[in-house]
Amino acid sequence: MTSTDQQPFLSVRDLKVHFSTEDGIVKAVDGLSFDVLKGKTLGIVGESGSGKSVTNLAVLGLHDRDRTAIEGEILLDGKELLTASEKELEQLRGNKMSMIFQDALASLSPYHTVGKQIGETYRKHTGCSKQEARARSIEMLKRVGIPQAETRVDDYPHLFSGGMRQRAMIAMALVCDPELLIADEPTTALDVTVQAQIMDLLKDLQQEFGTAIIFITHDLGVIADIADDVLVMYGGRCVERGTKREVLRSPQHPYTLGLLSSMPSLDHPVDVPLNPIPGSPPSLLNPPTGCRFHPRCTFAEKVEGGLCATEQPPLQITNGRGSACHLTSAQRAEYFTDLAGSAAN
């Protein structure tokens, strides 16, 4: 999946993340491959429970290795992460890769000042003095647009507004100049104006530092704003991938089409109902046979021989563009044109 022909900075191949639970094995991620290019943003989209966070926690090496079976390959700048030691991973988190989450309050300790938390991350990786770390904290707070950074650096997180806390978390994530930033729904809890400011901030920082970003969201509107490439996940697998333009303008998979049809657009008349996807996401304990989307797919009956219920469609990829569906390209061209045209505007 490439916007250009660059080497990927992160390369994930056939990733499987399976959890042992009392009820059985939860196949949260089940054979996922994708690339992220230096300085580019990969948007990962999918409904709740599709495996977005589990995938990225695997990249960061944050799963409990005793309870989780992880297979496949995760190459970060050429280094295999699945066989890396805990110590190596800890070193890489911060220096090479970093993350921001939806809930800044949960990520920041209430017992230490914002400046101390940003500074400690920096000190841990650079071994610099406390004074240098404090100066770096102030510099980072300024860079993410916190006013009066010289005094706010000594505030505790609860004295910051939601948007400011999110900025502080971004400052902490970026303090060691990571080359990959994983942002897991970082703006979901914020109001629309602050959300837009944070998105602009991430774009500016990416321009400035050439950071690669994985941006996880439910929201295709956010994808349209920030992503270069898009990965659509369903039931722990990739169902479609391509550049943003390809995926949003000419979706190849009924699930992507469903997401687009359920998305409000600016010119969507208020009295015309949106078209949500019927049913709910699959259980990953006992996933549906065949195509995991088949119980909800309005096109399943168009495929001959009931194949959708019995055979898992492979992800067919050409030049980075791919989808996993039994419909032929002629069928897609016939059924999708009008729907996609109206949804992607």
Six token digits for residue 333: 């061209």
Residue 341, CA atoms < 13 Å, CB-side half-sphere: 7
Decide which of Mg ion, ligand ATP, ligand SF4, none touches 26; Cβ closer than 5 to 8 Å per partner kind: ligand ATP
Minimum CB separation of residue 215 from Mg ion in Å reads 12
Minimum CB separation of residue 188 from Mg ion in Å reads 10
Decide which of ligand ATP, ligand SF4, Mg ion, none touches 296; Cβ closer than 5 to 8 Å per partner kind: none
Q: Which of 1, 113, 99, 116 is CA-nearest to residue 56?
A: 99
Give the bridge partners for 34, in sequence order.
12
Tell me how far CA of residue 182 lies from CA of 111, 235, 259, 299, 337, in angstroms: 25, 21, 23, 34, 34
**Comparison of 16 and 218: residue with beta carbon closer to Mg ion:** 218
Q: Which of 181, 120, 183 is CA-nearest to residue 153?
A: 120
Indicate whether 237 belongs to the interface with ligand SF4 (CB under 6 A).
Answer: no
| Residue whose entry in the numeric block shows the structure tokens 């991938």 | 241
Q: According to CB under 5 A, which one of 50, 53, 107, 252 is a site residue for Mg ion?
A: 53
**Comparison of 184 and 246: residue with beta carbon closer to Mg ion:** 184
What element of type H or E holds 118?
helix 114-126
Minimum CB separation of residue 180 from Mg ion in Å reads 18
**Comparison of 105 and 128: residue with beta carbon closer to Mg ion:** 105
**Among residue numbers 247 through 306, which ones bind ligand SF4 (CB under 6 A)?**
253-254, 291, 293-294, 297, 299-300, 303
Indicate whether 33 belongs to the interface with Mg ion (CB under 5 A).
Answer: no
Tell me how far CA of residue 107 lies from CA of 13, 102, 104, 125, 195, in angstroms: 29, 9, 5, 19, 18
**Among residue numbers 147 through 176, which ones bind Mg ion (CB under 5 A)?**
none
Tell me how far CA of residue 150 lies from CA of 91, 139, 172, 241, in angstroms: 29, 9, 16, 44
**Among residue numbers 15 through 44, which ones bind ligand ATP (CB under 6 A)?**
19, 21, 26, 28
Indicate whether 326 belongs to the interface with ligand SF4 (CB under 6 A).
Answer: yes
Q: Map residue 176 onto helix, strand or coil.
A: coil
Six token digits for residue 106: 């949960």
Six token digits for residue 79: 């280094």
Decide which of ligand ATP, ligand SF4, Mg ion, none touches 100; Cβ closer than 5 to 8 Å per partner kind: none
Give the bridge partners for 41, in sequence order.
213
Q: According to CB under 6 A, which one of 54, 173, 223, 247 is a site residue for ligand ATP?
A: 54
Contact residues toward ligand SF4 (CB under 6 A) are: 253-254, 291, 293-294, 297, 299-300, 303, 308, 313, 325-327
Contact residues toward Mg ion (CB under 5 A) are: 53
Contact residues toward ligand ATP (CB under 6 A) are: 19, 21, 26, 28, 46, 48-54, 218, 284
